Amino acid sequence: MSNMYDKAHELESALRESEEFQTLKELHDTVNNDESSKRMLDNFRNLQLELQQKQMQGVQITEEEAQSAQQQFELVQQHETISKLMEAEQRLSTVIGDINRIITEPLEDLYGKPE
């Protein structure tokens, strides 16, 4: 049984050493070390979270809120470092999703793929 945990720790180390994670970490540090960039990203993420919570509660998002979110998104996309950070987050998310699919294959074999 401990062999699975050892493999999980090896996977964690491999993830930390991966190019995807290293790039993300560098960009994350760069953004967090620049107060203006950090504030811009925090504002964008807080707005995203607020709108997601409303959707989960079944609250309709107003046109004004949708436009505000779109403007915030366009603003962070124009910021080169934040834009690169978001791209790096997406790449790492894809890697983690791929790994998740691989490690859950035994369950899919047993129970079938969810539809």
What pLDDT is stored for residue 114 in this prediction? 73
pLDDT tens column, 14-27: 999 999 999 999 99
Contact 38, 32 (CB under 8 A): yes
Residue whose C-alpha is closest to residue 80's, from 36, 48, 15: 36
What pLDDT is stored for residue 1 in this prediction? 58
The CATH T-level fold of domain 2-111 is YheA-like fold (1.20.1500)
Cα–Cα distances (Å) from 47 to 4, 52, 73, 79, 93, in that order, read 39, 9, 10, 17, 21
Give me the residue spans of the domains in the chain.
2-111
Other Cβ atoms less than 10 A from the Cβ of 85: the count is: 23
* C-alpha span between 68 and 42 (Å, rounded): 15
Is the whole-model pTM more than 0.75?
yes
Buried b (16+ CB within 10 A) or exposed e, 62-82: eeeeeeebeebeeebeebebb
Q: What are the residue ranges in the chain where pLDDT is below 70?
A: 1
